[in-house]
Amino acid sequence: MESVIFHLENEQAFDAEVVESIKRLFKGRRFTVTVTPEAKEITNTTLLQTLAENEKTDYAYQFSAEEFEEFADRVLSDEPVDVLGEISRRKVEKP
CA 59 – CA 90 distance, rounded (Å): 10
Return the domain boundaries, the chain.
11-93
Query: Three-state DSSP class for 50?
Result: helix
Q: Could you tell me which residues come within 8 angstroms of residue 16 by beta carbon, excluding any fewer than 6 positions away?
A: none
Convert the pLDDT of each residue in 69-83 to its tens digit.
999 999 899 888 898
- The answer to whether 92 and 60 have CB atoms below 8 angstroms apart is yes
pTM above 0.85, yes or no: no
**What are the CA-CA distances from residue 73 to residues 20, 48, 63, 91 (Å)?**
35, 27, 14, 20
Alpha-carbon span 75 to 82, nearest angstrom: 9
**Structure confidence at residue 11 as a pLDDT band (50, 70, 90):** confident
* 12-63: pLDDT as tens digits: 888 999 899 999 989 999 988 888 888 777 778 888 898 899 899 999 999 9
* pLDDT value of position 1: 52
Mean pLDDT of 64-72: 93
